[in-house]
Amino acid sequence: MIAAAPAKTGLSVIVPVLNEAESLPELERQIRETCVRLSRTYEIIFIDDGSTDGTFEVLKGLCAANPLIRVVRFRKNFGQTAALAAGFDRARGEIILTLDADLQNDPSDFPSLLAKLDEGYDIVSGWRQKRKDRFITRRLPSILANWLISRITGVKLHDYGCTLKAFRRDVIKNIRLYGELHRFIPALASKMGVAVSEVKVNHRPRRHGKSKYTISRTVRVVLDLLTVKFLLSYSTRPLQIFGLFGIVSLLAGTVISAWLAYERLILRVAIGGRPLLLLAVLLIVIGIQFITLGLLAEIMVRAYHEAAHQPTYFVREVLGDEPQDPPGDARA
Ligand code: UDP
Ligand code: MG
């Protein structure tokens, strides 16, 4: 509810929550106090991502006490990316802030994020320079992932994994999120030509509850990176990448077959037992396959771009008032 001041300055704070009951009251207090200190209108949207530890009851209490809080409760655990997407769909503020619910991110960094946005950036990402997590299982994979992501996406940030970020509304409203893609929002948005920057932020050790991720997340992040690279570079012209492989392979196969044909027909050498023959056939078949795959991908890409949005999450209930214009989710 951003009623008092002009909606332009409004902040929407989005918090994905999975089993963080103990941290929530303190987190709500810190966010509220920071927003009040900033003298901006604000709303806080908590997304309960299928918690089982009484998180929803705590959120219910917070929502009853503060009319600026809204709570979206998922039917089951759909993951942090879907939770953030649900928040983005409902956010009414002109500026959208995201942060973790476990008190590791510090709301007192909001002012520096907002100041950076005011310099003319569309997305400002937090950089946890002194990250308070285990080295081997969290920080080391993250160093490698950050290096790889910045090389491949061309968006230079130090810390893609930090949830504490600030976005201008129009940027975020145009991005659809799937899988584990939330850490790639700056990269995906770069396609729209937005200005991305970062500021150093505080990071605190986790006090309550457990981390929801294990090292296996790194594998998923790397796979998502492939998707992002494809979406960024070839999503509108897949034939250009598949077709290129296809043509190279087809050409190589044809050249080898021509050579073999010359040997057989002119030089009268037997070619039946030659491994080169197998290679030539393989290259030709693969080449044709790649080209057809590229054509199929072209058709799918067109269908994808024109199809109606498919929901990535299902909401059980919403506390607090919903926007008039219903967001793009499905109710089941
Ligand atoms: N989270 C979520 N859904 C999930 C996993 C995590 O909403 O499936 C939330 C979690 O409650 C926390 C944030 O995402 O607010 C980040 O999770 P966590 O602190 O476990 O990650 P870490 O800081 O260890 O990378
Ligand atoms: Mg955490």
Kindly list the domain boundaries of the chain, sorted by start residue: 11-233, 239-307
Rounded mean pLDDT, 173-199:
86
Atom of ligand 1 nearest to the CA of 211: 20
Q: Is the pLDDT of residue 80 over 80?
A: yes
274 lines ligand 1 (CB under 6 A): no
The residue whose CB lies within 8 Å of the most ligand 1 atoms, and thus the one to mutate among 80, 140, 163, 215, is 80
Spatial contact of 75 and 50, defined as CB atoms under 8 Å apart: yes
> How many C-beta atoms lie closer than 10 Å to residue 41's C-beta?
22
Spatial distance between the Cα atoms of 226 and 150, rounded to a whole number of angstroms: 13
The residue whose CB lies within 8 Å of the most ligand 1 atoms, and thus the one to mutate among 138, 210, 212, is 212
Q: Looking at residue 227, what is its pLDDT? A: 86
Spatial distance between the Cα atoms of 102 and 61, rounded to a whole number of angstroms: 18
The mean pLDDT of the chain is 89
pLDDT confidence tier of residue 83, bands split at 50, 70 and 90: very high
Rounded mean pLDDT, 221-247:
87
Spatial distance between the Cα atoms of 5 and 95, rounded to a whole number of angstroms: 14
85 lines ligand 1 (CB under 6 A): no
Residues with beta carbon < 5 A to ion ligand 2? 100, 102, 104
Q: Tell me: the pLDDT tens digits for 109-161?
A: 999 999 999 999 999 999 999 988 888 888 898 899 899 999 988 899 999 99
Spatial contact of 188 and 2, defined as CB atoms under 8 Å apart: no
First and final CA of the chain: distance in angstroms?
26
159 lines ligand 1 (CB under 6 A): no
191 lines ligand 1 (CB under 6 A): no
52 lines ligand 1 (CB under 6 A): no
SS3 225: helix
**Thinking of the domain 11-233, which architecture would CATH place it in?**
Alpha-Beta Complex (3.90)
Q: At what angle do helices 24-37 and 55-65 cross, to 10 degrees?
A: 30
Atom of ligand 1 nearest to the CA of 15: 15
Spatial distance between the Cα atoms of 125 and 162, rounded to a whole number of angstroms: 7
213 lines ligand 1 (CB under 6 A): yes
Atom of ligand 1 nearest to the CA of 104: 23
180 lines ligand 1 (CB under 6 A): no
79 lines ligand 1 (CB under 6 A): yes
The answer for residues whose C-beta is within 8 angstroms of residue 19's C-beta and 6 or more apart is: 51, 52, 53, 55, 209, 212
Q: Looking at residue 27, what is its pLDDT? A: 97
Least confident stretch, 110-114, 219-223, 234-238, 324-328: 324-328
Atom of ligand 1 nearest to the CA of 210: 20
72 lines ligand 1 (CB under 6 A): no
Rounded mean pLDDT, 239-248:
93
Q: How far is CA 143 from the centre of its chain?
A: 18
Q: Looking at residue 325, what is its pLDDT? A: 63
| Amino acid at position 230, single letter | F
Tell me which of 202 and 219 has the higher pLDDT: 202
Rounded mean pLDDT, 67-73:
96
Q: Looking at residue 9, what is its pLDDT? A: 63
Residue whose structure tokens are 């409902």? 90
Q: Looking at residue 326, what is its pLDDT? A: 57
Q: Residue 272 C-alpha to ligand 2 middle, in angstroms?
A: 63
Q: Looking at residue 171, what is its pLDDT? A: 87
Q: Residue 18 C-alpha to ligand 1 middle, in angstroms?
A: 6
